[in-house]
Amino acid sequence: MDFIANGFVQAFHLLFTADEETMVILVTTLRLTALSMALILALGLPMGFALGYFTFPGKRALCTVTDTLLALPTVVIGLLVYAFISRRGLLGDWELLFTVEGMAIGQVILGTPIVAAYTASAVEGLDSRLRQTLLTLGASGAKLAAVSLWEARFMILTAALTALGRIVGEVGSAMMLGGNIKWHTRTITTAITLETGKGDFALGIALGVILILISLLLNISLSFLRRRTQN
Amino acid sequence: MTPLYELHDLKQSYRKETLTLDISELSIRSDGITGLVGPNGSGKSTLLKVLSFLMPYDSGTLLYRGEPTAGRESAIRREVTYLLQNSFLLSRSVYENVAFGLKLRRTEPSEVKDRVCESLARVGLDPAEFASRQWYQLSGGEVQRAALAARLALRPRVLLLDEPTANVDEASAQLIMAAAVTEAEEHGTAVIVATHDMPWLYEMSAEIIGLYRGRVTAGAENILQGGWKPEGGHMIRSFPGGQTVYAERTEADAGRAAALDPSDVRVALSRPQQTGSVNIAAGHVVHLTLERGRNSVLVTADVGGSFLKARVPEGDPLCRELYPQREVFFIFPYSSVRWL
């Protein structure tokens, strides 16, 4: 079992000496995550608000579809997006395959249903007096929506953190759409998969430590938000 | 003076099934306090929501200050504000709650601060103590007062209050009602209030509108509900203790509930001779209310366990002889008992 202990020693060495390859993987992961999260929130929040706030024919069916998408396997997403953005695909001319942007498409499909479903649930659960209060104070339209979302902010932040946790630890679609290209589209999870396969535990464990730290940070944030919500 | 609201053939139903409002004609004055009275489920809250444009109506016409309202709801909502029975505060500080509507109206920041402090003081919340408190750090009465402050800060033309003191402590209730009176008398705001605080309402309101099952009803102060039986050519209702009230029987009578306008009831201190189709009900005075808007005194008496009201002109010498527990006789013709 010495190789595991050695792996940890090497991992901290790579981290504290700011090893170039490790840093590039880390930066690529952060770029991909930031881009994906921006798109996920831009799409998921309005979708979730509309699902939770309005009543329209087919709403239940749409909610069921959104809930089903929560459990979509990442490799299936990778496969579908691959089919669209590969040379032969509908979006082939955009040359998105094996780029960070291409990988972001998969992650957006993965994360948007999470934000939408949680937001819808949060908005549905808002106090029914909120709308009347806002209207009677003079709010309408976009302001009404923005304040309603703000009132549900702790639940929505939980949704965002859950989506972040899902995409940051995702490997299936990132591997298929990014190709795990060194210095280019290699992320923490795809690198761990590769390095473990090669028997290079040091880099794998170093990246694993970073991933665990991110997970820890998310959990601490969630606990903090839960306490705020209980207030 | 143009009425504040005019309603013609206005109908509103719940899920297009149960008719909750059915008002053929109603005018609401543009000054002072207007009271809405009626039993639970009579449509008071629904009417207030329609008047504040929070709830659409199915058919009919609603005029606001003489003009049709269709398509102008958002603009009118800037003049009309509504306080819910159980008010809701946004999850932010008291200051931010009260300032919310002002910021929406792009009020100057310095003015926002002044108006927030002024409004909080008017509802008895010391700005220095309460402005920085979070929404969850208030009692029920303080929540209601902070919510009222948020409405007062807007300096509305119309303030609609739905049972504002139903779920608050006595001190908060007095502060809320005092603030409503100040708003009407000093700021010229038209206040329309639904409340069960009848003595306050009769004393402070310029006009009272009675509602029963969604309809405007004269005499909603005295609703004689249930227990009616046909007897001969009349309907009769017995009170515990053996007293009875007669009403004329008509083809259309539902026999379920009837209203008796207090203005149709004469008060006597000794039992008069029974003549013709006139009811004489003996009771004891339980409450006397000076109706400032009508220049009259509303006499509430306990008649066999039910409270009946009669109206006596303020200048009537009889007023000087009325006091709680005094035996009185309410006299009203059979025809004044109207079926609802």
Domain range list for chain A: 2-230
In what order do the strands lie in the sheet containing B244-248?
Answer: B228-231, B234-238, B244-248
> Nearest CA of chain B to the CA of A166: how many Å?
29
- Res A116: pLDDT: 96
Tell me which of A130, A133, A157, A225 to substitute to probe the interface with B (most B C-beta atoms closer than 10 Å): A133
CA distance A47 to B59: 33
Nearest chain A residue to B153, by CA: A137
CB A118 within 8 A of CB A152: no
Query: What pLDDT is attached to residue A120?
Result: 94
The neighbouring-strand residues paired with A120 are none
| For residues A123-129, average pLDDT | 91
Strands (E), B118-243: 158-162, 190-194, 207-212, 215-216, 223-225, 228-231, 234-238
Residue A73, judged by CB atoms within 10 A of its CB (0-12, 13-18, 19+), counts as exposed
Q: How far is CA A30 from the centre of its chain?
A: 11
- How many residues are present in chain A? 231
- DSSP codes, A43-68: HHHHHHHHHHH---TTHHHHHHHHHH
Say if the Cβ atoms of A147 and B151 lie within 8 Å. no
Tell me how close the Cα of A134 comes to any Cα of chain B, in angstroms: 8
Of A129, A136, A143, which has the smallest distance from its Cβ to B86's Cβ? A129
The first and second tokens of residue A102, run together, are 């291409």
The three-state secondary structure class of B334 is helix
Residue-wise pLDDT tens digits, A112-121: 999 999 999 9
Is A138 in Cβ contact with B104 (below 8 Å)? Answer: yes
Q: Predicted confidence band at B6 (pLDDT cuts at 50, 70, 90)?
A: very high
pLDDT over 70 at B243, yes or no = yes
CA distance A7 to A140: 58
Query: Could you give the ipTM of this predicted complex?
Result: 0.79
How close A137 gets to chain B, by Cα (Å)? 5
| Residues B158-212: tens digit of each pLDDT | 999 999 888 888 888 889 989 999 999 888 999 999 988 877 888 788 888 988 8
pLDDT tens-digit map of B25-64: 999 998 889 999 888 888 999 999 999 999 989 999 999 9
How many A/B residue pairs have CB atoms within 8 Å? 50
For the ranges A20-29, A81-90, B271-280, B328-337, the lowest mean pLDDT is seen at B271-280
CA angle B24, B30, B33 (to 5 degrees): 95
CB contact under 8 A, A137 and B74: no
- Residue B276 binned pLDDT confidence (cut-offs 50, 70, 90): confident
Which residue of chain A has the CA closest to B151?
A137
Roughly what angle, to the nearest 10 degrees, separates helices A153-168 and A141-151? Answer: 70
Give tens-digit pLDDT for B100-113: 999 999 999 999 99
φ, ψ for residue B159, nearest 5 deg: -120, 120
Burial of B39 by CB count in 10 Å (0-12 exposed, 13-18 middle, 19+ buried)?
Answer: middle
**The model's pTM:** 0.78
- Domains identified in chain B and CATH numbers: 5-216 (3.40.50.300), 223-339 (2.40.50.100)
The pLDDT value given to residue B27: 93
Q: Which amino acid is at B255?
A: G
How many other CB atoms are there within 10 angstroms of residue A97's CB atom?
A: 22
User: Reduced to 3 states, what is the DSSP secondary structure of residue B331?
Assistant: strand
Searching chain B, which residue's CA lies closest to the CA of residue A136?
B81
Indicate the angle between helix axes A59-69 and A20-53, nearest 10 degrees: 160
Using a CB-CB distance cutoff of 8 angstroms, which residues of chain A are in contact with residue B83?
Answer: 136
Q: What tokens does B138 get?
A: 């208030």
Residue A26 neighbours by CB under 8 Å, 6+ apart: A188, A207, A210
Asked if the Cβ–Cβ distance from B81 to A137 is below 8 Å, we say: yes
Cβ–Cβ < 8 Å for B87, B143: yes
Q: Which of B81, B86, B104, B159 to mutate to test the interface with A (most CBs of A within 10 A)?
A: B104
CA distance B139 to B136: 8
Contact B149, B125 (CB under 8 A): yes
Query: Rounded to an integer, what distance in angstroms lies between the CA atom of residue A148 and that of residue A143?
Result: 8
Answer with the residue of higher pLDDT: B196 or A23: A23
Q: Which residues of B touch A (CB under 8 A)?
A: 49, 52-54, 74, 77-78, 81-84, 86-88, 90-91, 100-101, 104-105, 134, 136, 147, 150-151, 154
Q: Which residue of A has its CA nearest to B159?
A: A136
pLDDT at res. B226 = 78
Q: Which two tokens stand for residue B301?
A: 């008496």
Contact B104 A135 (CB under 8 A): no
pLDDT of residue B206: 82
Contact B87 A133 (CB under 8 A): yes
Q: Taking CB atoms and an 8 Å cutoff, what residues of chain B touch A144?
A: none
What average pLDDT does the segment A11-31 reach? 88
Residue B93 in tokens: 């500080």
Structure confidence at residue A213 (pLDDT):
83
Lookup: tokens for B223: 């609703």
Q: For the structural domain made of A2-230, what CATH number should be given?
A: 1.10.3720.10
| pLDDT in the model for residue B253 | 53
β-pairing verdict for B278-291 and B296-303? antiparallel
Most trustworthy range by pLDDT among A85-99, A105-119, A154-168: A105-119
pLDDT in tens, B252-264: 655 578 888 899 9
CA B314, CA B298: separation in Å to the nearest integer? 9
pLDDT at A230 over 70: no
Q: Which helix (H) or strand (E) holds A119?
A: helix A100-124
Indicate the pLDDT class of residue B309, thresholds 50, 70 and 90: very high
**Scanning every residue of chain A, which has its alpha carbon at the shortest distance from the alpha carbon of B86?**
A129
Task: Kindly report which listed range (B159-168, B245-254, B275-284) carries the lowest average pLDDT score.
Answer: B245-254
Q: In Å, how far from its chain's centre is CA B168?
A: 17
Other CB atoms within 10 A of residue B30 CB: 18
In tens, the pLDDT along A171-199 reads: 999 999 999 999 999 999 999 999 888 88
Q: What's the rounded mean pLDDT across residues A59-72? A: 90
Amino acid letter for position B110: S
Give the minimum alpha-carbon distance from B123 to chain A in angstroms, rounded to a whole number: 18
Rounded to an integer, what distance in angstroms lies between the CA atom of residue A225 and that of residue B83? 31
Amino acid at the residue A224: F
The pLDDT score that the predictor gives to residue B195 is: 86
For residues A129 and B88, the answer to whether their CB atoms sit within 8 Å is yes
Question: Between the CA atoms of B238, B239, B244 and B250, what dihedral angle is there, to the nearest 10 degrees?
Answer: -50
